[in-house]
A and B are shown apart, each in its own frame.
Chain A
Amino acid sequence: MTPPSGPDEFLDLFDGQDAEDGHTVEGRDSADGPDPARTEELRPWSISELNARARTLLESGFESLWVVGEVTNWTRARSGHCYFTLKDDSAQLRCVMWRRDAARIPVDPEEGSRIRAFGSVTLYEARGDFQLAARELAAEGDEGLWKLAFEKLRRTLEAEGLLDPARRRPIPRFPGSVGVVTSPTGAAIRDVLRVVSRRAPWTRVVVAPARVQGEGASSEVADALDRLSGSGLCDVIIVGRGGGSIEDLWAFNEEPVARAIARSSVPVISAVGHETDTTIADLVADLRAATPSAAAEAAVPDREAVRELLARIEPRLSRGLRAGVDRQANRVRELRLRMVRGLERRVEPGRRTVDRAWERLPNAIRRTLAARRDRQGRLAGRLEGLSPLSTLSRGYAVAQDATGGVLRAVADFQVGQAFRLRVADGEVVAETTELKPGEGVTRPPPANETESTHGDRHE
């Protein structure tokens, strides 16, 4: 405590302001009652009085402000309040961050890191400590605190392979049921329902309500995701919320949500309404949509598109069917051709035999006939030479009765009987006029007969 100078400085400072703005002085007076410093300069101040006065002066004297410095001695008490010190090369500032505000920071700042704290200066009267009651923290420089927290979790998940694009599952083209994890009262659920009922009204929408911002939001979202995924009711899940500040969206940058998305049994579409920054949920999800409406459009097909698809499928089906039939018909044709060819191959030797037979048969039959004709000709020649009548040409004649019987002896004749005489060039019809049996000739040779008949004829 350096009592006189500190308060005096502030007094000087604020006296100046007071001169211009009597209102502040009025306020101070009314807050603290009669001003003992002015009326009774010699009466000593109690500590309480002094600290209360100093606090009032401090709180009314400073606008809320940003302070930059290096963090040391960061502690988060069990109450949730955070205490730390900001310092630079030559000075320190005690800081406190009440639980309500501390719950909204993504990570505790690291020891020694440079941060900015936004808050108001005050005095902790019980200890007389001058301090800053910080309401917001930000990392100094490029890397904001949010960014730091984001990167830290991203690295962890990446190391586990949960951000591998190969893990992303395709979104079903025609889901029967879509699950939605979001606030039951927010714009997101209304947007999703509107899009689904417009595009694919046959789709069932199952909502698992969850608070999407504030303390504990990320575990609520994670629980809702687990419930939906485990229910088996959904073919795809949309998780998200409408737009908001980075703090509002922070639940979707927290580990519970990321892990719930990663272990979901059905594909998850993230729809955190913040187009510029990617959330951890976006990285882990199977598909990232910029808004809940876009997520719904990605989740369900447009019914016009479905109708067109069906219209295109019909002719393709019938074409496919016809192609199948054609293929079978071709196969049958080919088989028939091969069968015919096979048959022809089988028939060919026989055909060749028949052809050869056709060449040989005429000659064979002609040869056969010629042989017979030869034989017959030879027989004819031989028969000709053997004619018993051939002797007739030498002057003999044969007597024959009407029946053709040969008349050999006188006894064969009767007087008056007609007979035929066969001569070399024909027949003579004769009649027996006289019988003259021969003397010594008992065994009449044909010559005798002939002679006798001859003789008859001469008579």
Chain B
Amino acid sequence: MGIDMSESGESAQNPGLEDRLARLEEIVAALESGELELDAALKLFEEGVVHLRETEALLASAELRVEELLNTAQGDETRDFGRGDGS
């Protein structure tokens, strides 16, 4: 099996979304191969669940941030024009 068992906690202390998704792909692929010892599978699975939860949180916050930014930016733009006309 090519899966790196050590990666979960150590290499990236707070990995980003892409890293976590990539790791999830690895974990899923490894689990799907069915060649894992049970405890390894369990550990990977638990790591996968952590990644799922984290990615969910990251995605949710990213989506929120995007919407906030878009709203704010459009609002700022309008305000800028307003100031520009007034001065």
Please tell me if the beta carbons of B39 and A386 are within 8 angstroms of each other in the complex: no
Hey, what's the 0/1 contact readout for B54-78 against A, CB within 8 Å counting as 1? 0110010011001000100110010
**Structural contact, A376 and B24, CB atoms closer than 8 A:** yes
Main secondary structure on chain B at its contact with chain A?
helix
Closest to A391 in B: B38
* Pick from A362, A379, A380, A406: contact of B66, CB under 8 Å: A362
Q: Is B59 within 8 A of A366, CB to CB?
A: no
Chain B residues whose CB sits within 8 angstroms of the CB of A380 once the complex forms = 52, 56
Q: A57 to nearest B CB, angstroms? A: 125
Our pick among B17, B24, B73 for the contact of A383 (Cβ within 8 Å) is B24
A366 to B52, CA, bound (A): 20
Bound-state Cα–Cα, A406 to B36, Å:
13
Against B, the Cβ 8 Å flags (1 = close, 0 = not) of A355-397 are: 0001001100110010011011001101100111100000000
* B32 shortest CB reach to chain A, Å: 6
CB of A446 closer than 8 Å to a CB of B: yes
Enumerate A169-224 residues with CB–CB distance to B below 8 Å.
Answer: none
> Across the interface, do B38 and A446 meet the contact criterion of CB distance under 8 Å?
yes
Given A362-B70, A369-B63, is A379 in contact with B39 using a C-beta cutoff of 8 Å?
no
Residues from chain A with Cβ under 8 Å of B45 in the complex: 383, 386-389
**A111 CA to B20 CA, complexed, in Å:** 144
- A388-B48 CB under 8 A given contacts A369-B62, A376-B59: no
Q: Is the CB of A405 within 8 A of B39?
A: yes
B3 at the interface (CB under 8 A from A): no
With a 10 A CB-CB cut-off, give which of B42, B49, B70 has the most chain A CB atoms. B42
- Contacting residues, chain B, for A406 (C-beta < 8 A): 38-39, 42
Chain A residues with CB under 8 A of B74: 358
At the interface, yes or no: A16 with Cβ under 8 Å from chain B? no
Encoded as 1 (CB less than 8 Å from any B CB) or 0, chain A from 153 to 171 comes to 0000000000000000000
The yes or no answer to A86 lying at the interface (CB within 8 A) is no
A327 to chain B, nearest CB (A): 29
Contact B32 A382 (CB under 8 A): yes
A398 in contact (CB, < 8 A): yes
A232 at the interface (CB under 8 A from B): no
Q: Which B-chain residue is minimally distant from A386 (CB atoms)?
A: B31
Contacts of B21 in A (CB 8 A): 372, 375-376, 379
Chain A hits for B49, CB < 8 A: 383
Tell whether A33 is near chain B: CB-to-CB under 8 Å.
Answer: no
Query: Which chain A residues border B41 with CB–CB below 8 Å?
Result: 386, 388
Instruction: Report if B28 contacts A (CB, 8 A).
Output: yes
Chosen A-B contacts, 7 in total, with CB atoms closer than 8 Å, are A358-B73, A358-B74, A362-B66, A372-B59, A379-B24, A379-B52, A406-B38
